[in-house]
Each structure stands twice: as structure tokens, then as C-alpha cells.
Amino acid sequence: MDIQHIMGVVDASFAARQSIEKALRDIDRRALNAMVLVKRHGNALAGYGVVAQAFRERAAILKTSASHLQESIAPLIEAYMRILQHQRFVQSFQEMLSDSPLHGKACPNLISTQSKWQTTIHEEEATARKILVQLLEAVQTLQEGVEEQEYIVTNGRIEAALAESTGAPLMRVSRDMGEAVRTVAQAIRSYRHQLESLEHESSTRL
Amino acid sequence: MKAAPVFEAGSHRWWIIYDQDEHRVIDSNVYVMESKGQSIILDPGGFEIFPQVFAAMVEVIPPSSLKAAFVSHQDPDIASSLPLWHACNDKMEWYVPKLWEGFIRHYGALNAPLQNISDEGGEVMIGGRRLEFIPAHYLHSSANFHVYDPEAKILFSGDVGAALLPPGHDAWVDRRDNTGRAFEEHIKKAKYFHERWMPSNAAKKNWIERVSQLDIQHLCPQHGAIYSGDNVKRFLDWFDKINVGTAII
């Protein structure tokens, strides 16, 4: 396990999570603004009202999916840190055995204890990998949610063009919605790349 | 373990990481102060709880922001995680009591950058904020320091104020209670700790005299729960009255 790689991923995932949370808050706010605008214009913007409602509902679903992401990251980091912790034991036994092969002969328990810790680490690596796979699935779900949201934004643009005569600033609202969705999509992509680099490392090691 | 905010003013923040899941070792609180993207961890904890402290910490700050660690004294629940933190970030500076440097290196980080705090105390700047190292010798260790943040009005008080609480405990002694009843209930769980672990009434009196001059909004111990607002004075008054260590043998 390359601890500096893990640290890089933890840093990047912290930044990505913050960015996702901020972008989701932004999406929620923009969805609310759109709903208010529709209410103000009554039936004239009924078509856009459907879009704004869908956008808001999707935003709530995205928030829920993001919270599942949050639930999985802490156990993953904890699992990696436990591996780091137990590697210290293996290393100290290794150093003793390397100092003199006689240590192993005089005290066979040194070798068996070292081997026991090695087995523990393998089990912990398998656990970490399982959590990582779950986390990647959660990211996948979130990405699918964002794709749905992008589809709604496209529909919003069409409705905005159709309702241009009402004078409501729907094009601007749609553009803002699109911008917020793009930000979250980018943050998730970057997060996914980080996680995949970890997955790649653990697969090549196994 | 979980992280909860203690103080926040712009980019200046304090967190407590508390309620550990491993119950075979004494339950400990770890604190983090962050300012302008730099942070310091206070009494980062024992080897056995490192994974959960780290996982809870990265919920609130990125690990690369850690510039320093403060070690109040030499005990294993304070600093035996040092080699693991050092493996994660070998640039972190470790502020430790000078008297204990050679002991703390026994935890397995011969090359870690330790900065000695002399008996008189000192200070450190983190993200433009000044933190003061307040001498608290013989409370309980013979070379012991607390940390005061004059802007946040927080005193990290190490083992002073510690209480032995059950799993699932709250981070604060109930702040909504104005009657003092919550404090009275809580302090029963702190009494034995102070009587047994604090060796000297004289050291205690001296510390109370000095600390009473500080403006403290939150008194944050390394075990138990935070005393805020009126509970700070309630604690100092209570501590002043009890006999500890050699006085009760």
C-alpha cells in the first residue's frame, strides 16, 4: 500500500466532496428560484413549471445519493489506516528477522506472529477493496442521477425558448441550472478517477 | 468516532473528535484547529484508535492541511499514534514538552521533527493564528502543557477537566442547562479522575490562579466532555475545592 498515494486520494476526495456538496446546494437553490419564477407567471409558464418541479425532485434524489457516498468514504479510509497500523507490526518483526536469521530459529513464534499479521493485512485489504467497490457503485448511481438532471436541463432550455414571449428570464435560469449541473458532474468525475486509481492499485497488487 | 464543531469564525475553526468505538483503551478526545487552510491536531491519540481518529478528521479537514501536532505530555493515549501520523505526513512538526522528547521517540518515530517546548511554555502560529502553550506541570505529568487560543477563547486543558464517560457520550456538558444541575451530574464522573491522576494541590492552585486570568469560553479536556460558558467557572471553582493526589493519601 502506497500511503502517499492514499493521502493524495484522501485530499482529492475531500476537495471533491466539498465541491459536490456545494454544487448540490447550488442546484437546490436554482431549482427553488425556477419554481418561484413559474409561480409568479401563473399558467403562462406551466410547461416550464413541470421542468422546474422535476429539477427540484432530482436535486433531492442527488442529495440522498451523495449522502450514501459520504457514508462509505469514512469506513474506506479507516480500513486503509488500519492496514497502515498493522503493517507497522509486520515491519518490526521483519526488521528483527533481518537483523539476524538466528532470531527466527531461537524464537519460531516471531515468524508465526509475523505471518499472522500478514494474513490479517490480506483480510483487511480484501475488506477495503469491497468497500471501494461499493463506493464506486454509489458514485455510478450519483453519475446516473446527474445525467438525468442534464436531460431535464435540456428540456428546460426547450421550454424556455417556447416561452420566450412571456418575458420571464427563463433562458438565464436554464443556463444557471446547466452550469450548476456541469459543476457537480465534473466534481464527480474527478472523484471517480481518484477512486479508480486506488482500485487499479489494489487490483494490480492482488 | 465523530467530529463536531466547537468554534467557527470565518476560516478559523475548532473541532472535537470524540466518542471512540474501541472500548478496551481509555476513551479520548482529539481536537483540531484550522485557520486559512492550515491546521494543528492536539493530543492526536493512541496507536489503537488512529484509524478512527484519522477517518473522522478527514471528514472536516484535508490531511495535507496538517502542519503541526501538539503533545501535552508523554502518555500513550496522547501520542503513541505518532509514527502512523508521521508515515502519513512526514512534514508535520511535533510540539512536545522538552523533558519528554527522548521518551516520546520510543513510540517509533526516531526521525520525526519534534519541536521542544521549554518549561516556561511558548507559542505556535497556525494559519496566522497564535496559539499559546500554557504550562500545566504536574497536572498530571511533570512536564505538561495546555493550549490557549485567545481569539476563539478556547483552552485545551489536557487531562484537567477529564471525565470517564460511557460510550455514546455527548461532546459537551449540557450547554442548555442554566441551573448547574447538568454540571453537578457530570462532575461526579470527573471526581475520581482528578483525585487519582492529579498529583499535587500546589500545582493545581497555581494553575487555577493563572488560568482564571484568561478569557475562556470553552474548556476542552482530552477525556470526557467540553465545559462551555458558565460551566467553565463552575469547573474551576470545583477543581479549586477538591483535594488531589498527595493531599488525600
Q: What is the CATH number of the domain that holds A29?
A: 1.10.287
Q: How far apart are CA A15 and CA A24, in angstroms?
A: 14
pLDDT value at residue A72: 81
User: Could you please report the per-residue DSSP string of A136-172?
Assistant: HHHHHHHHHHHHHHHHHHHHHHHHHHHTGGG---HHH
**Count of domains forming chain A:** 1
Instruction: Indicate yes or no: CB of B47 within 8 angstroms of CB of A7.
Output: no
Q: Which is more confident, A97 or B95?
A: B95
Residues 8-67 of chain B whose Cβ lies under 8 A from any Cβ of chain A: 47, 50-52, 54-56, 58-59, 61-64
Q: Check CB contact under 8 Å for A82 and B87.
A: no
Residues A127-177 pLDDT 10s? 999 999 999 998 999 999 999 999 999 998 998 888 888 888 888 888 988
Q: Which residue of A has its CA nearest to B58?
A: A14
pLDDT of the residue at B234: 97
Check CB contact under 8 Å for B58 and A88.
no
What phi-psi label fits residue B163: left (phi over 0), alpha (psi between -120 and 50 degrees) or beta? beta
Name the residue of chain A whose CA is nearest to B82's CA.
Answer: A85
Which domain covers residue A142, as residue numbers? 3-205
What ipTM describes this predicted complex? 0.89
Size of interface A-B (CB pairs under 8 A): 49
Residues B44-58 as b/e (b if ≥16 CB within 10 A, e otherwise) read bbbbbbbbbbbbbbb
Mean pLDDT value across residues A118-125: 95
Per the CB < 8 Å rule, is A14 touching B58?
yes
Q: Using the predicted structure, report yes or no on whether residue B14 has a pLDDT greater than 50.
A: yes
**Where residue A204 falls among pLDDT bands split at 50, 70, 90?**
low
Contacts of A121 in chain B (CB under 8 A): none
Q: Which three three-digit cell numbers place residue A57?
A: 425532485
Would you place residue A206 in the very low, low, confident or very high pLDDT band (cuts 50, 70, 90)?
Answer: very low
Specify the residue for cell string 486570568: B213
Entry pTM: 0.91
pLDDT in tens, A35-77: 888 888 888 888 888 888 888 888 888 888 888 777 788 899 9
- Yes or no: say if B149 and B123 are a contact pair by the CB < 8 Å rule: no
Q: What is the DSSP string of A60-104?
A: HHHHHHHHHHHHHHHHHHHHHHHHHHHHHHHHHHHHHHHH-HHHH
- Find, among B249, B240, B237, B42, the residue nearest to B159 by Cα: B42
Which residues 6+ apart lie within 8 Å of B82 measured at CB? Answer: B44, B69, B71, B94, B104, B107, B108, B109, B112
Q: Which of A7, A10, A81 sits opposite B50 (nearest CB)?
A: A81
Report chain B's mean pLDDT, rounded to a whole number. Answer: 97
pLDDT in tens, B152-181: 999 999 999 999 999 999 999 998 898 999
Evaluate whether A192 touches A136 at the Cβ level (below 8 Å).
yes
Rounded to whole angstroms, the Cα distance separating B97 from B225 reads: 25
Q: Is A85–B84 a contact, with Cβ atoms under 8 angstroms apart?
A: yes
Tell me phi and psi for residue A34, to 5 degrees: -65, -40
A82 touches A88 (CB < 8 A): no
Cβ distance B52 to A78 less than 8 Å, yes or no, reads yes
When CB atoms are compared, the residue of A3, A75, A92 closest to B88 is A3
Average pLDDT of the segment spanning B178-191: 96
Residues of B in contact with A75 (CB under 8 A): 55
> Could you tell me if B80 lies within 8 Å of chain A, comparing CB atoms?
no
Tens digit of each residue's pLDDT (9 = 90 or more) over B37-75 = 999 999 999 999 999 999 999 999 999 999 999 999 999
Q: What angle do CA B22, B26, B32 make, to 5 degrees?
A: 85
